[in-house]
Structure 1
Amino acid sequence: MIVTEFRTVDVPVEDRFDYWCQLVGKTMVPVDMDSDHAADYRGEMRVLGVGAASVWPVTTQPVRLRRTPRLIRQYDPELYRLLLPRHGTLEVSQAGRQSAHGSPDMTVTNTWRPFDLRYPEPVTVVGLEIPRRLLPLPEARVEGLLSRRLPARDGFGALLAAFLTTVSRDSASYGPSDGPRLETVLVDLLSAVLAHHLEEENRLSPETRGRTLVLRVRAFVQQHLHEQELSPASIAAAHHISVSYLHRLFQAEGVTVAAWIRQERLARARRDLGDPLLRHVPVHQIGARWGFLDAAVFSRAFRKAYGLPPRDYRHQTLRAPRRTGGFPSPA
Structure 2
Amino acid sequence: MHPDPARDAGTGHLAAWQREVGLRLAAVKAGRRQDGPFEASLTGVPLGYVRLLSLEADPVRLSRTPGLVESAPARAVAVVLQEHGHAALTQDGRSTVLEPGQAAVVDLRRPFSLDERERFRLRVLRVPDHALDVPAHSVRGVTGRALSPRDGVPALLVPLLARLAVTAGRIPPSVADALGGNTTDLLATLVHDASDPDDDDHAGAARDRLVRSVLRHIDRHLGDPDLGPESIAAAHRISVRYLHRLFEDEAVTVSRLVQRRRVEECAKELARRGSVSATVSAVSSRWGFHSPAHFSRAFKALYGHPPGRWRGAAPATTGTVRP
Q: Normalised by the size of structure 1, how large is the TM-score?
A: 0.55
Residue 167 of structure 2, aligned match among 163, 167, 170: 170
How far apart are the structure 2 equivalents of 1:27 and 1:49? 11
Moved beyond 4 Å, runs of 4+: none
Residue 119 of structure 1, aligned match among 110, 116, 120: 116
Please tell me the residue identity of whatever aligns with 2:190.
V
Flag structure 1 segments of 5+ consecutive residues without an equivalent: 203-331
1:112-152 deviations in Å (ceiling 9; x for gaps): 21111110111111111101122243321221111112211
Looking at CA atoms only, which structure, 1 or 2, has the larger radius of gyration?
Answer: 2
Map of 1:92-107 to 2, 5 A cutoff?
92-107=89-104
Matched, 1:28 2:25: yes
Counterpart of 2:301 in structure 1 is: none
1:218-266 deviations in Å (ceiling 9; x for gaps): xxxxxxxxxxxxxxxxxxxxxxxxxxxxxxxxxxxxxxxxxxxxxxxxx
Alpha carbons 1:89, 1:123 under 8 Å: kept: yes
Counterpart of 1:234 in structure 2 is: none
Aligned length: 199
1:19-58 deviations in Å (ceiling 9; x for gaps): 2122112222111111034641111221111111111122
1:270-312 deviations in Å (ceiling 9; x for gaps): xxxxxxxxxxxxxxxxxxxxxxxxxxxxxxxxxxxxxxxxxxx
- The CA RMSD over aligned residues, in Å, is 2.3
1:19/1:94 CA distance change after superposition, 3 Å? same
How far apart are the structure 1 equivalents of 2:139 and 2:6? 32
Map of 1:241-280 to 2, 5 A cutoff?
none
How far apart are the structure 2 equivalents of 1:199 and 1:73? 29
Quote the offset at 1:107 in angstroms.
Answer: 0.9
Alpha carbons 1:45, 1:58 under 8 Å: kept: yes
Please tell me the residue identity of whatever aligns with 1:166.
R
How far apart are the structure 2 equivalents of 1:74 and 1:38? 30
Map of 1:232-311 to 2, 5 A cutoff?
none
1:142/1:34 CA distance change after superposition, 3 Å? same
Alpha carbons 1:2, 1:176 under 8 Å: kept: no
Map of 1:134-283 to 2, 5 A cutoff?
134-198=131-195
Matched, 1:5 2:5: yes
Please tell me the residue identity of whatever aligns with 2:26.
V
1:139/1:73 CA distance change after superposition, 3 Å? closer
How far apart are the structure 2 equivalents of 1:183 and 1:189? 10
1:139-173 deviations in Å (ceiling 9; x for gaps): 21221111112211233212111111111101232
Please tell me the residue identity of whatever aligns with 1:58.
L
Counterpart of 2:276 in structure 1 is: none
SS at match of 2:53: strand
1:49-80 deviations in Å (ceiling 9; x for gaps): 11111111222111011111221122213111
Alpha carbons 1:2, 1:49 under 8 Å: kept: no
Flag structure 2 segments of 5+ consecutive residues without an equivalent: 201-323
